[in-house]
């Protein structure tokens, strides 16, 4: 890489001017504010407003990140689905500590969750699986997620094979497909501010209550 390119990147910056976040704007528990921010992200027309970065750690302490879609949330947890043979699922089986991050950049907002992931019951999984578009159900059978493949044609061929196999009737739930419920104990809300004086508030669970602290940017 050239020194010129490094200099150009270093000079990229902008001001955050969309507004601040004050204690009076906060809710007693974090998911009421999260629900409001998510609704505003949807109404703003953001692409994939439910997309979140999922961070896990392998047996050597190496972190991994990837984007998945949030499919459900309530006052104590968030839910996503995945192939149970995937890298993330295998890592969560060894260490179920997890981080979820929502990067709503156009709104100059971020939300981060820390918690523990637990496998969903088969009943919860099958209900969601059959709500997916049929081709998405078939694609779950076609992809051995995170495994090495020699060419895309192999994946496409497997998809057509599964489509033929399940052309009549309901697509069954693969035994290797499931989901995780993340029960969180920490939620941070970040709102961009002028002059890099961003607003950050951290919710920490203390029993059945939430402690709220402002963090320096």
* Alpha-carbon separation of residue 186 from 78, 111, 140, 162, 178 (angstroms): 13, 10, 32, 42, 25
Q: Which residue positions form the known binding site for FMN?
A: 66-71, 81-82, 87-88, 110, 145-146, 190, 200
Assigned domain for 67 exists? yes
Assigned domain for 129 exists? no
Alpha-helical runs (H) found in 70-184: 87-94, 122-129, 134-142, 152-165
CATH number at residue 76: 2.30.110.10
Assigned domain for 109 exists? yes
In this structure, what are the phi and psi dihedrals at residue 216, rounded to the nearest 5 degrees? -70, 145
Assigned domain for 9 exists? no
Assigned domain for 97 exists? yes
Q: Which domain holds residue 104?
A: 19-121+178-214
Residues 130-160 pLDDT 10s = 999 999 999 999 887 767 778 888 888 888 9
Assigned domain for 11 exists? no
The total number of structural domains in the chain stands at 1
Residues 33-84 pLDDT 10s = 999 999 999 999 999 999 999 999 999 999 999 999 999 999 999 999 999 9
Residues with catalytic annotation?
Answer: 196
Assigned domain for 171 exists? no
């Amino acid at each position: 890489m050239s020194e010129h390119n490094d200099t150009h990147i270093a000079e990229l910056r902008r001001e955050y001017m969309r507004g601040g976040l004050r204690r009076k704007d906060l809710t007693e528990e974090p998911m009421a504010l999260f629900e409001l921010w998510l609704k505003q992200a949807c109404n703003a027309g953001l692409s994939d407003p439910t997309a979140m970065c999922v961070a896990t750690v392998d047996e050597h302490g190496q972190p991994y990140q990837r984007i998945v879609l949030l499919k459900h949330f309530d006052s104590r947890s968030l839910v996503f689905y995945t192939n149970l043979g995937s890298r993330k699922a295998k890592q969560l089986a060894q260490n179920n500590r997890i981080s979820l991050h929502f990067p709503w950049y156009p709104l100059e907002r971020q939300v981060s969750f820390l918690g523990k992931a637990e496998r969903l019951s088969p009943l919860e999984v099958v209900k969601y699986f059959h709500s997916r578009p049929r081709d998405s159900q078939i694609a779950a059978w076609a992809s051995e997620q995170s495994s090495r493949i020699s060419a895309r044609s192999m994946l496409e061929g497997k998809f057509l094979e599964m489509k033929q196999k399940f052309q009549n009737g309901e697509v069954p739930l693969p035994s290797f497909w499931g989901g995780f419920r993340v029960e969180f104990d920490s939620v941070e809300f970040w709102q961009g501010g002028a002059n890099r004086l961003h607003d950050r508030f951290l919710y920490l669970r203390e029993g059945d209550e939430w402690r709220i602290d402002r963090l320096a940017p």
